[in-house]
Amino acid sequence: MVKDKKVIFWIRAVVLLAVAAAVFFAGREVGAASSQPGTQSDPLVTLSYLEKRLKEGGVTSGSAGSAAFESVSLSSGEKLTLADGAEVVVVRGNGTVVGGLISLTGGEMFDNGTSVVLYADYLAAGTGCGIKATGSMKVYVKGSFSTTK
């Protein structure tokens, strides 16, 4: 009887170890540990963190064209047009790129009509570039800009 309990204990231990190994390797195979932190597929930024950091960096509701980020709300169909070299960070809502924007976060070009990505920092690639809101949006803008319906 004592030998049977030891055998059962070891069988359970081996089965448990095999299941743990299978789960580990299955997770590794599907990429659970391979995603690069901070990328679009694995963002580490939360809205509250972003707003806090932007406020610390001098977010102001002052004049457009200042060196600090300014909070701007857009309604559906409204267009935000940026001056050359202006930056915009989308923190809420959906929109599409007008003209072309360079993602400083991901280092890629977003062409006309491409959907914007939340929390990415975009740089205007030229005069007349910007974002058209497809719903209500909140963005932070640094540099000169204008909004039109």
* pLDDT tens profile 79-89: 999 998 899 99
Q: Cα 23 vs. chain centroid, distance in angstroms?
A: 29
Q: Give, in order, the Cα–Cα distances in Å from 90 to each of 13, 34, 61, 103, 137.
A: 51, 27, 16, 11, 8
Burial of 113-122, coded b for 16+ CB within 10 Å and e otherwise, reads eeebebbbbb
Q: What is the pLDDT of residue 133?
A: 95
DSSP 44: -
Q: Does residue 41 carry a pLDDT above 80?
A: no
What pLDDT digit, counting tens, does each position of 56-74 carry?
A: 665 444 444 456 889 999 9
- Mean pLDDT (the chain) is 82
> How much of the chain, in percent, has pLDDT values that exceed 90?
40
Q: Does residue 26 carry a pLDDT above 90?
A: no
Q: What is the pLDDT of residue 59?
A: 46
Rounded distance, CA 93 to CA 132, Å?
Answer: 11
Burial of 6-42, coded b for 16+ CB within 10 Å and e otherwise, reads eeeeeeeeeeeeeeeeeeeeeeeeeeeeeeeeeeeee
Task: Give the type of residue at 9.
Answer: F
Q: What is the mean pLDDT of residues 2-25?
A: 86
pTM across the whole model: 0.57
